[in-house]
Structure 1
Amino acid sequence: MDNSIPVVSKIFCSGTPTMLMIRRRPIVVNGGGFVVTDLSHNVVFVVDGCGILGSKGEIMVKDGEGEPILFISKKRCGNSFLFQLPFTIGRLALKEENNRDCTIVDCTRKIVAQMGRKELIGGKDFYHVEVQSGYDQAFIIGVVAILDNIHGESTRC
């Protein structure tokens, strides 16, 4: 029986836990955003933010081939900001309010993904995300992109 929980697409769900590496792109040089690779250094996702899209509060997640798969936009809602997504996140727990050290859990408190700093090499910021089996990796990268934007990181201008 297939226990995959696709949000973006079933093709982004794996039957085993998957470790993804994230490398931020400098806003000044590459327009910001970040690149997501597997442990073999194959590009799995690319996330573009304001520096490339040209609009504040817009984030695009692309697959490894560069095809857009998820568009996230920031909408003004009263005095606060709300990211409008076509799905429900469930719960999101942040440790120390740092978007590179968090756990994403579903509504039953089961861990969906865990993220943390991996290493600092040559001034480039690397961190990892381990997505549990059956969960949509593209969706998780979308959540990571939202956290990146909220914390004023590489997807934000």
Structure 2
Amino acid sequence: MTQPEASAVAVVSPHFCSPYPVDIAIVRKLLTITDGSFVVTDVNGNIILKVKGDHLLDTAGYPIITLRQKLISAHERWQVFRGKSKKSTDLIFSAKRSSMLQFKTKLDVFLAHNTTEKVPDFKVKGSWSEKSCVIYAGDNSTIVAQMRKKSTVKSELLGKDHFMVTVYPGIDYAFIVALIVILDGINTASIPTVPN
């Protein structure tokens, strides 16, 4: 398995790309499943992003992106838009299950300009029961991020899921967070389904 070159892959914004590997923690509060509440922190515990309902927010509470699940979709397709928009012109990317029947989770991710969707721009493969996944660039073995569950006595007592994510150099970590929230949404239905 290879790592990507240092060139930036800014799907959401270059602001979220780093020339170094970025380790982040994504914490889902299990007691607030109805609003899909997550907090994203750096390794020092500083909040860098939040997910509230169907929005990914910056530290000031400004919506960076909106995540939407399509109501009628055989492969559980999700669409991600800039800011609070739901307009097709503001579509950044979409993600869907690779096939309808899956034992392990596999998602195909298509950037907005990839309208033919013959080859995915990114792939997500993992086991949700083990709370682990790997995100690949394109349809090959280049890893751009990896997630694993971190279990602590404190997180179990507080009713939280705690995911540790390593985002490789030059990869947009807001994009990676959005993919993990979608993965969680597909597997736990934590973000409400909305009409198209």
Can you list the C-alpha shifts for 1:54-79, whole angstroms capped at 9, x where unaligned?
xxxxx211112211101111113454
Once residues 136 and 29 of structure 2 are traced to their aligned partners in structure 1, the CA distance between those partners, rounded to angstroms, is: 27
**1:148 equivalent in alignment to 2:143:** no
Q: 1:30 to 1:72 in 2, by over 3 A?
A: closer
Deviation at 1:97, TM superposition (A): 4.0
TM-score, structure 2 length as denominator?
0.66
> Equivalent pairs: percent with the same residue?
32
Aligned residues: 147
**1:67 equivalent in alignment to 2:65:** no
In our comparison, the structure showing a higher alpha carbon Rg is 2
Q: 1:19 to 1:76 in 2, by over 3 A?
A: same
Partner of 2:141: 109
Deviation at 1:93, TM superposition (A): 3.4
- Does the CA-based 8 Å contact 2:34-2:191 persist in structure 1? no
> Structure 2: 5+ residue runs without aligned partners?
1-5, 81-91, 94-109, 112-120
Can you list the C-alpha shifts for 1:118-143, whole angstroms capped at 9, x where unaligned?
22332232120100010101011000
For residue 140 of structure 1, what is the amino acid of its counterpart? I
Deviation at 1:7, TM superposition (A): 1.0
**1:138 equivalent in alignment to 2:174:** yes
Q: 1:5 to 1:78 in 2, by over 3 A?
A: closer
Matched residue SS, 2:149 = strand
RMSD after superposition: 2.4
For residue 136 of structure 1, what is the amino acid of its counterpart? D
For residue 8 of structure 1, what is the amino acid of its counterpart? V
- Does the CA-based 8 Å contact 2:34-2:190 persist in structure 1? no
- Does the CA-based 8 Å contact 2:30-2:161 persist in structure 1? no
Once residues 37 and 96 of structure 1 are traced to their aligned partners in structure 2, the CA distance between those partners, rounded to angstroms, is: 23
**1:40 equivalent in alignment to 2:40:** no
Q: 1:98 to 1:26 in 2, by over 3 A?
A: closer
Decide which of 123, 138, 154 is 1:92's aligned counterpart: 123
Once residues 106 and 153 of structure 1 are traced to their aligned partners in structure 2, the CA distance between those partners, rounded to angstroms, is: 26
Once residues 115 and 42 of structure 1 are traced to their aligned partners in structure 2, the CA distance between those partners, rounded to angstroms, is: 19
Deviates more, 1:88-97 or 1:111-120: 88-97
TM-score, structure 1 length as denominator?
0.81
Deviates more, 1:118-127 or 1:135-144: 118-127
- Does the CA-based 8 Å contact 1:99-1:144 persist in structure 2? no
